[in-house]
Amino acid sequence: MMRNIIVFGASGNIGQQALQIIESNPNDFQITAVSIYHNISVLIKILEKHRTIRIVHLGDETQQAILTAQYPNITFVTGETGINAMLAAFPTALVLNAISGFAGLYPTLQTLYGKNRTLLLANKESLVVAGDLINNLLVENNNQLYPIDSEHCAIFQCLDQTNPCSEIILTASGGVFANKTLADLKTIDEQQALQHPTWKMGQNITIDSSTMVNKGFEIIEAYHLFKISKITVILHPQAILHSAVQYADSSIIGQLSKPSMLQVLNYFLYYPIRKNSSFLKPLNFEKLITLTFQKADLSRWKALQLAYRCLNENNSLAIAFNAANETLRSIFLSGIIKFYQIVDYIEYFMNQIKPQKLVNYREIKELNDIIKRDIINYFSEK
């Protein structure tokens, strides 16, 4: 059965991998709407391949008139009203949100304000800053949410509906600096921070993986997705075990596969059917290297400490965690602070926040914007 799909963030890393799967299965999916930020050259390629697209959301308003003239059969929209229009036009379409950062929150919430929708969520920041609100909308509107994230996809596959799990074991490669001391981190520059030993990812998430902020976000994400607070992070450099679940009888069930987001996308695009794909390759146990595991040292990875704090506080702290990270990562890339200072400054700005529960998009965005402005002002005055 052909299924319509909306892709937010179609020009990014996850969006492009999703298009690979969709294009290789033309009888299963048709794209009806996409959003891109400013990569017009990639958009044009998408439009040439997918003639079923009827609405395009643009991050750059200056391109709207030009593209409308070039593609008169497609409606080009911008801003929040444009996102609303996309979702209203295709109320039964599957939605993939592959926008990175806080910008992905609005499409997530607007999707879930609809009824009987299925959302494939690659934007983990949505759950970090608005997990309770998202869970309420899932229940109220009979929606489904599936996480496009290798660890949370693994946990999802390991859960047993008849036996509640006692602990989530969240794996982390440790990034390129896993074996470096805190003193070593003081010498890290931008070029080194943008290398990842296992995954091919965008610039922002690569840096977040190196600081372990990304893993901190995944702790909060897992907490909201699976309603479990006992979450242990295990360093596993080979990234073959994507995460695991422990049960009351001390049995541990894990999911293993080659590290590939195509595996995650393929799994949830076809869920509950497991569909073969030419993109996916099995593990070769004749060549498989030794798998190693080590519990993450919280004194070494302060970002994990900050994430665990967020589980016991109102969401203003998690909003500060994300807003500070986004701003300080940019400040690092501008050469104003050192790599090792990113997480220390995140902690500093989190400590300035008054605990409070923010219950809608406007409240969350207002605090997010205030924190980002305050951080920029802080460094402009130094």
Residue ranges of the annotated binding site are 12, 14, 39, 123-125, 149-151, 173, 196, 202, 209, 214-215, 218
Question: What residues are paired with 253 via a beta bridge?
Answer: 245
Q: Are the C-beta atoms of residues 244 and 158 closer than 8 Å to each other?
A: yes
Q: Tell me which residue has tokens 């109220």.
A: 140
3-state SS, 68-106, equals: HHHCCCCEEEEHHHHHHHHHHHCCCCEEEECCCCHHHHH
Tokens of 261: 């987001």
- Residue ranges for the known binding site for NADPH are 12, 14, 39, 123, 125, 202
Q: Which residues contact 80 (CB under 8 A, 6 or more apart)?
A: 106, 110
In whole angstroms, what is the distance from residue 165 CA to residue 230 CA?
Answer: 10
Q: Which residues contact 293 (CB under 8 A, 6 or more apart)?
A: 171, 234, 235, 236, 241
In whole angstroms, what is the distance from residue 327 CA to residue 382 CA?
Answer: 16
In whole angstroms, what is the distance from residue 154 CA to residue 254 CA?
Answer: 7
The helix (run of H) or strand (run of E) holding residue 290 is none
Q: Are the C-beta atoms of residues 244 and 154 closer than 8 Å to each other?
A: yes
Tokens of 103: 């910008």
CA dihedral 59, 144, 244, 284 (to 10 degrees): -70
Which residue type, as a one-letter code, is found at position 108? T
Strand 252-256 vs strand 241-246: parallel, antiparallel, or unpaired?
antiparallel
Rounded to the nearest angstrom, the gap between the alpha carbon of residue 233 and the centroid of all alpha carbons in its chain is: 18
- Residue ranges for the known binding site for 1-deoxy-D-xylulose 5-phosphate are 124, 150-151, 173, 196, 209, 214-215, 218
- Residue ranges for the known binding site for Mn(2+) are 149, 151, 218
Closest CA to 253 of 155, 147, 150: 155
Closest CA to 224 of 318, 353, 110: 318
Q: Which residues contact 23 (CB under 8 A, 6 or more apart)?
A: 49, 50
